[in-house]
Amino acid sequence: MPQHGKKYLEAAKLVEPRPYAPDEAIALLKRTSYVTFDPTVEIHMNLGVDQRHADQQVRGVASLPAGTGKKQRVLVFAQGDKAREAEEAGADYVGSDELVKRIEEGWLDFDVTIAHPDQMGKVGRLGRILGRRGLMPNPRTGTVSTDLARVIKEVRAGRVDFRVEKANLIHAPIGKVSFTDDQLRQNIGAFIDAIVKAKPSGAKGQYIKAIFLSSTMGPGIELELQPALALAAA
């Protein structure tokens, strides 16, 4: 197993084996960040679902009020007037067959993929490549749309896609350590709210079982559930 470095171990000593109130956790998150760059803050959630069943899938989009702190490289599959719309809205890469070919050849220098519906016949060929990286456009997450300008604007503003993974876990970036406490608090609340609204029909019993925060290369910090859920309702 990989060994943690000295700085990580020193940071981990500051985290007690107990859940923290959100404000206390945010302050501790900043104290335990030891890297020289501005690290990403991530949220990790353990859900009371079984992702092996179709009626217990959790998937959707969260709009973070304070953004993610990261510039998303946006690729859009579109042609004609819709391609011009995407370019004017600020997409980094716009095209059709030529982009399909580049991706088939191994190019993946983008973070979000959006497609006009008339392009999905072509994009479908990329399912095996894009799907395992979470980059496949999907109507359920709003990344297949006729309103490309709106979707691009949402991505730029702080849109985060989420999907339950093996062991029924959700992971997502929700900001940077340099964000103010209030910005992080707002983003945490918005993300939890999106998860609550995405509760599947097949979920039984306790839906959200645990919530953790961490920064890049930093230790995990557990949140007290009820105060964290209260942020979503605020």
Read off the pLDDT of residues 171-205 as tens digits, 9 standing for 90 and up: 999 999 999 999 999 999 999 999 999 999 888 89
From 1-10, 94-103, 115-124, 163-172, the region with the lowest mean pLDDT: 1-10
Q: 156 pLDDT exceeds 70?
A: yes
Flag whether 67 is in a domain: no
Confidence bin at 1 (pLDDT 50/70/90) = very low
pLDDT, position 2: 59
Q: 211 pLDDT exceeds 70?
A: yes
Residue 111 lies in domain: 74-156
- Domain CATH code at residue 93: 3.40.50.790
Q: What is the rounded CA–CA span in Å between residue 133 and residue 130?
A: 5
Flag whether 1 is in a domain: no
Read off the pLDDT of residues 52-81 as tens digits, 9 standing for 90 and up: 898 999 988 898 999 889 888 999 999 999
Q: Stretch 38-61: mean pLDDT, rounded?
A: 92
- Side by side, the strands of the sheet bearing 74-77 are 93-95, 74-77, 112-115
Task: State whether 118 and 93 are in the same domain.
Answer: yes
Q: Stretch 133-142: mean pLDDT, rounded?
A: 88
Question: 161: part of which helix (H) or strand (E)?
Answer: strand 159-163
Q: What is the rounded CA–CA span in Å between residue 192 and residue 224?
A: 13
Q: Estimate to the nearest angstrom the gap between the alpha carbon of 26 and the chain centroid.
A: 19
Q: What is the rounded CA–CA span in Å between residue 51 and residue 94?
A: 34
From 99-108, 112-121, 152-161, the region with the lowest mean pLDDT: 152-161
Q: Is the pTM of this model over 0.85?
A: no
Q: What is the rounded CA–CA span in Å between residue 221 and residue 219?
A: 7
Task: State whether 81 and 114 are in the same domain.
Answer: yes
- pLDDT, mean over the chain: 93
Q: What is the rounded CA–CA span in Å between residue 170 and residue 26?
A: 19
Q: 111 pLDDT exceeds 70?
A: yes
Q: 3 pLDDT exceeds 80?
A: no
What's the domain count of the chain? 2
Radius of gyration of the CA atoms of the chain, in A: 19
Task: State whether 152 and 204 are in the same domain.
Answer: no
Cβ atoms 188, 22 nearer than 8 A: yes
Task: State whether 211 and 139 are in the same domain.
Answer: no
Amino acid at 195: I
